Chain A
Amino acid sequence: MAQILARRDMGAEAPRETVTAAAGGREVIGAGIEIREITKKYGAFLAADRISLDIEPGEFITLLGPSGSGKTTLLNLIAGFHRIDGGQILVDGKPVQHVPTHRRGFGMVFQSYALFPNMTVAQNVGFPMRMAGMDRATTDRRVAETLDMMRLSEHAGKSPAQMSGGQQQRVAIARAIVMRPRVVLMDEPLSALDRRLRESIQIELRDLHQALGSTILFVTHDQSEALTMSDRIAVMDAGHIVQVGRPTEIYRQPQSRFVAGFVGESNLIEAEVVARREGALTLKMPGGQIFEAEARAIVPGRIATVLVRPERIALHEAAQPGTMPATVTSALFLGEVLRIEVALEDGQTLLVRCTDTAARSLPRIGTRVHVGWGAADCWVLA
């Protein structure tokens, strides 16, 4: 525990590399979860439609999706708040769908904190210990340890109502981890907090995950939060999981227009396939511009949808080989980046993001520019 504390003292600014390196030899106490074809109906509405997902022991996995996509439903089914209408949930290989919530041995953090207002901070954190029938000495020791970990020691005797939102959520996290559970469920725990606080707790949670080794199942609708924190992300839409993968995979190699559009900003270009080679395509845009794209998947038809992320497009003042002429239609200064929209000659608009440097000034609207990208910057959607 001393090691964890030492690392935490470095503060929220601790670089990610240190964290990952320190966690290299961590002990995994988390359980693997297998979700097999589970279904949940509310009347005629299919909230979860034969969802399957394998979660590795000790993994930080995020369910990401817009509201109404079924991610909270799935979390509640795993928690056991609702009965599933079909399928199986296995924790460490054992089916749990008939085990009541309080015997599943999970920890859970809620968006509304859900701290018991009739108990002090220490009583809230000690609640799971008492429910498990631990003796008072063990409970007190573990509560003190956990509060210390969450830097809440001086608040132990307070009532939750006397604390700020960020503090309350840290108490809720302490309550969820006090038993060192094999699985911690988190239902949008940070969305009620303001941005700075959210970012600092994100890093704190990430560290905590490394230190505990529990499996964490995290639900959010915030794609940047999902990208920052997760080992893997499961993107959900309309009661289905549409893609599961590491953050880089989800961002760079989305399997559908939905994932491409939901995670990050994207330029989706419909282009005609004019030549196919091993691992690459030559494509023609509606306006006649030709470009190359790497392609792993087989594109069946004549028309391919190509994703080019805005930061992969280069903006030039003068024409260069492989660039296309364009006109600036909008230019925004966002701080560290510039967000520029350009229109190609055929009217197709593209979004470009480039870093703010001394050499580049924000272009005026109407400026003639040239845009281009490499074959490796393209991702052809299957």
Chain B
Amino acid sequence: MTDAAAPPRLSPHLPPTRPPATVTATGPGLSQRLTSPALLLLPAVLFLAVIYLMPLVDLTRISFTGPSWSAHFERVFATPLYFDSLVRTMQIAFTVACLCAVLGYPTALLIHRSRGSVQMLVAVAVILPYFIAILIRTYAWMVLLGRNGPINKLLGTLGLIDSPLALLFNRGSVLLGMTAVLLPIMVLSIYASVARLDQSLTRAALASGAGPLAVFWRVLLPLTFPGIGAGFLLVFVAALGFFITPTLLGGPGDQMFAMHITQQADSVTGEGFLQALAVVLLVITLVTVGIAGRLIGFEFIWGGGKLDEMARRPKARAARRSRRGPGTLLADALGWPLLRLMGPLLASAGLWTVRIMGGLVVATLMVPIIVVMVISFSKASYLTFPPPGWSLRWYEKFFSDSNWMDAFWNSLGIAALSALIAVTLGATAAMGIVRSRIRCKSALMLLLVSPMIVPPVVLGLSLYSLFLQLGLVGTHLGLAAAHAVGGIPIVVVIVAASLQAVDRRQEQGAAVHGAAPLTVFRLVTLPAIAPGLAAAVFFAFLHSFDELVLSLFLSSPRMKTLPLMLWADVNYQLNPVLAVVSTLEVLLVVGGIILCRPVLTRGQAH
């Protein structure tokens, strides 16, 4: 009764934020752009249409050429080699996603619950590997698991084994390596949903008599389930198209689907069939994402930042959730009795599970990197741990070898150019997405971030034929543009998030007091998003600097990037120069993270 009597809350009715038209005052081009923010989307959309959508469409077209339209696809599914590999790929991706979920949850909880320096340490241990190239992290696992690696050495010293174990090149090492490489994605996704929870919810459950286990099962797990789901999908989709880690860590029986595509690309035979392989992988990926997007919303791709257009959705979902779904029934029938059996366990058991599992995960993420950094100072000319002596000879070799230095400067130039393209196009597009009021906003956002989920192997293959026609293969500009396709989503996500955090009333305040639209942007908006822009520049740069798969397709023997040099060396001779490059990359990332820390901590506070 009283609720109805409550006076309706007055909300200030804000007009659509459109600066007053000043067509006569300034040039028409400038004011036009400012009056319709949607136009800001144009450059990025055009760029992606030409360098991303068109090649993919062309790829699909070629895959249908043949004796009959489905001839190549029939061959893919009829040849046991490819079909088995497809099944294997799905199995591996699913297993990896499950492993990541099981290991990632305690780690996310550990970050959330610890305080001070412990929290800092765990967070860095997760975030640092996230930004280090997959190639380098895989290389670190090769070092760790190698015949002369620390694990075999340790077991030998303890007298547990007589001869070194073959830890590498089997299904186990593939799963371990891929899980370790993809785990940070899962942890960050779960952490985001745990951190968003109102802390008084767990307190309310405790005060209602729920023990720690019941709090976890009844409150924490159901409420963070979207985060787990998002992480699971991101890991699964990334694992589907994985190429580097299974190539380096797998044996002959662990061929994943993406590896067939690169092998076929090397042998020139299969025009059409090659494209069909790529299309199969692309379609599986897109279907997975499409189904997931229908179920949990496409926001999972860019980490839950909802657009205002979609704000109405959660209500409908809340209504749907209120019915007792099969999940709840299952939880009641199975989980709850199980949980009650565990009741007599010590209250601190859960706490220790989190600490021990989280600690193990942190160790798994950090140990390979540390081992590689140590080995870079080794005196030995082969990989062995602990190093027999110390020297800087491998650093000298790296800095004096003109091949390495050429590759380094190539990478630096390409990454700088790529970051420039990605940030220019991505930031304007983010502005257009956040500030415009067009109808198909979510579709456009989906287009802008979709390069994140397209398997790089497929993208590389499709770009190759376009770049051949344009004469861009093996050029700085070509590689920079290709890398920018993957850089734009990163920039759009970061800049859109910082734009959404800008207080519109400050802008309106500046406008009311006489600032012209450009002045408002310069004095209010730009300073507010500057940290986000800086982070975007850094991550776009890093994305290009680390990029290997596209470069494999698009470079020429005369122009090599650092990851390409690494790739060649990892495949032919595992020497400590690789460790030197890895160490330098770690230092680069650490430096970048320190520079970007204000942004990262601000993101956490929200």
Give me the interface of A with B, judged by CB distance under 8 Å.
Answer: 11-12, 79-81, 100-103, 105-108, 110-112, 114-118, 120, 127-128, 131-133, 151, 157-159, 161-162, 164, 166-167, 172, 175-176, 179, 185, 194, 196-197, 200-201
Contact = CB atoms under 8 A, between A and B. Distances in A.
Given A102-B211, A118-B222, A197 B204 contact: no
A108 B209 contact: no
Contacts of A164: 3, 6
Contact of B203 (A110, A159, A167, A194): A110
B49 to A, nearest CB: 40
- Of B208, B218, B219, B321, most buried by chain A (CB within 10 Å of CB) is B208
A116 B209 contact: no
Contacts of A100: 206, 211, 347
Nearest to B202: A114
B209 A128 contact: yes
A146 to B, nearest CB: 13
Interface in B305-358: 314-315, 318-319, 321-322, 340, 347
B223 interface: yes
A12 B1 CA distance: 10
Contacts of B205: 116, 127, 131
Nearest to A127: B208
Contacts of B552: none
B267 interface: no
Given A79-B207, A101-B206, A194-B7, A112 B198 contact: yes
Contacts of A101: 203, 206-207
A25 B210 CA distance: 34
A162 B208 contact: no
B210 A102 contact: yes
A112 B200 contact: yes
B200 A114 contact: yes
A196 B214 contact: no
Interface residues of B, number: 33
Given A112-B200, A128-B209, 10 more contacts: A102-B214, A110-B200, A116-B218, A116-B223, A118-B219, A127-B210, A131-B214, A132-B209, A133-B340, A176-B207
Contacts of B1: 11, 151
**What 10 A-B pairs have minimum CB-CB distances, sorted nearest first?**
A108-B207, A159-B322, A114-B204, A128-B208, A114-B200, A131-B209, A101-B206, A161-B318, A118-B222, A200-B2
Interface in B85-125: none
Contacts of A115: 204
B154 interface: no
Given A131-B208, A185-B207, A116 B219 contact: yes
Nearest to B314: A161
A157 B322 contact: yes
Contacts of B215: 102
A4 to B, nearest CB: 17
A196 B209 contact: no
A105 B3 CA distance: 31
B201 interface: yes
B339 to A, nearest CB: 11
B5 interface: yes
12 contacts: A12-B2, A102-B206, A102-B210, A103-B209, A106-B207, A108-B208, A116-B201, A118-B321, A120-B322, A127-B208, A157-B322, A159-B322
A81 B203 contact: yes
Contacts of A114: 198, 200-201, 203-204
A167 B322 CA distance: 17
A197 B322 contact: no
Nearest to A107: B207
A194 B223 CA distance: 29
A110 B204 contact: yes
Contacts of A79: 203, 206-207
A317 B495 CA distance: 68
A144 B209 CA distance: 20
Contacts of B318: 117, 159, 161-162
Interface string B212-233: 1011001100110000000000
Contacts of A110: 200, 203-204
